[in-house]
Amino acid sequence: MGKQAAALALAMACNCRGDSSNFNKDDGIEQDPVNLLIGSCGICKSCKKIAAGNHPDIIQIKPSGPFIKIDQIRTLLQTLSRKPYEAETRVVILSEAHCMNAAASNALLKVLEEPPNRSMLVLIANRKSDLLPTIVSRCQPVRFNRILNETITAFIIKEYGLKPQAAEIISAMSHGSLSKAQLMIEQNWLHHRKWMLAEMRFLSLQTVARLFALAEKLSREKKLLAERLEIIKSWFRDLIINHYDPEIVINIDVVDQIRTVSRQTDMATLLAKVEAIQNAQNRLTTNTNLRLSMERLLIQLAQP
C-alpha cells in the first residue's frame, strides 16, 4: 500500500538540504514530482543517501526471523541516546511493527512517550489492533487505503505475464498490497498454495500420525508459516462464504471442491475452525512451541 515508501519519503522531507539551486534540467535529470509534492528535492546529498538506504541517521528495523526482538530494541535505544550524526531529524522506521514480541513492545514504550530531540519513530503495521494498546496510544495513526484488487491484477498480468485466474487469486490474497503481491510471485506462492489446499481438502481423512507429521513440517519451515496459515484460513473462509455469496470466493480455481466440502460442513463448525486458525496466528508473535501449536490446530481442523 506504499507505507514503507511513504515512511522514506517522510524521512527525505524532514532532512532535505534543498541543494537544488544548481539543478539543471538540461543535464537530462528529472526531479520526481512526488518528492516536490512532499517538500524534498530528491537530488540533494541527503535525499540521495536516504533513497540509496545508506544514510546513517535513517534507521530501518525489520523482524529477525518471525519477530522484532527485544535485543533489536535495546540496540535502538542505545543509538537514540546519542545525537544524530548528520540528519536534521533522525527517523527510525520499524517495518512490520506488529511482529514485535511483548518484551520488545514494552521496551519501546518509554522512548515513544518521550522521543529524543531531533528524532522521529515511524511504526508500520497491518492493523492498529495488531499492536499493544499502550503502543497505539503513544502514536499518531495514519490510515492507508488498500489498492483495488483490479489494479493489482492488471499490474501483475502486465508485468509478470500471469494468467488472469492466477493473478486474481494473488491480488485477493495480497490484501491490497502491491509489494506483497510481488513478493508472493517471487517466492512461488502459488505452488505452496496448491499443496496447502490439497492438504486441507483431505485433512479429515488423515491419521493422527499424518497430522503430526504435517504439523512438524509446518513448524520447521518458520519463515513460511505465517503465509501458510493465511492460505489455510482462505480455504475455510471460502467454505463459509460459499453459503452466502459464491461469487466472491478467493480460491476460484478449486471452487467445485469448495462447494462440495461447504455443503458437508455446518456453519458453527466452520466458524470455530476459523477462530482456531486466528488463535494460532496470534500465537506466532509469542514464544509458543510452534510444533505443539500446529499439532493442536490440525487436530481441531480435522474434526468433522
CATH number assigned to the domain comprising residue 223? 1.20.272
Task: Specify whether 153 is located in the same domain as 241.
Answer: no
Q: What local confidence, expressed as pLDDT, does residue 32 receive?
A: 52
In-domain check, residue 108: yes
Task: Specify whether 154 is located in the same domain as 38.
Answer: no
Task: Specify whether 81 is located in the same domain as 121.
Answer: yes
d(CA 96, CA 3): 10
Task: Specify whether 285 is located in the same domain as 213.
Answer: yes
In-domain check, residue 276: yes
Instruction: Report the half-sphere exposure of 224 (CA within 13 A, side-chain side).
Output: 19
User: Torsions phi, psi of 143, nearest 5?
Assistant: -85, 145
Task: Specify whether 206 is located in the same domain as 152.
Answer: no
Place of cell 485433512: 203
Looking at the whole model, is its pTM more than 0.85? no
d(CA 283, CA 277): 10
The pLDDT tens digits along the chain (304 residues) read: 778 888 988 999 888 887 544 444 444 445 554 455 456 777 788 888 888 888 999 999 998 877 888 999 999 999 999 999 888 899 999 998 988 888 899 999 989 988 888 899 999 998 888 888 999 999 999 988 888 989 999 999 998 998 999 999 999 888 888 888 988 898 888 888 899 999 998 898 999 999 999 999 999 888 888 889 999 999 999 999 998 988 888 988 888 999 998 888 889 999 999 999 999 988 886 778 889 999 999 999 998 7
Task: Specify whether 174 is located in the same domain as 231.
Answer: no
CA 144 to chain centre: 13
Domain containing residue 199: 188-302
Angle formed at CA 57 by CA 177 and CA 142, multiple of 5 degrees: 35
Burial class (CB within 10 angstroms; exposed 0-12, middle 13-18, buried 19+) of 48: middle
- Neighbouring C-beta atoms of residue 264, cutoff 10 Å: 10
Task: Specify whether 210 is located in the same domain as 161.
Answer: no
Q: What local confidence, expressed as pLDDT, does residue 123 receive?
A: 94
In-domain check, residue 141: no
Q: What local confidence, expressed as pLDDT, does residue 46 receive?
A: 87
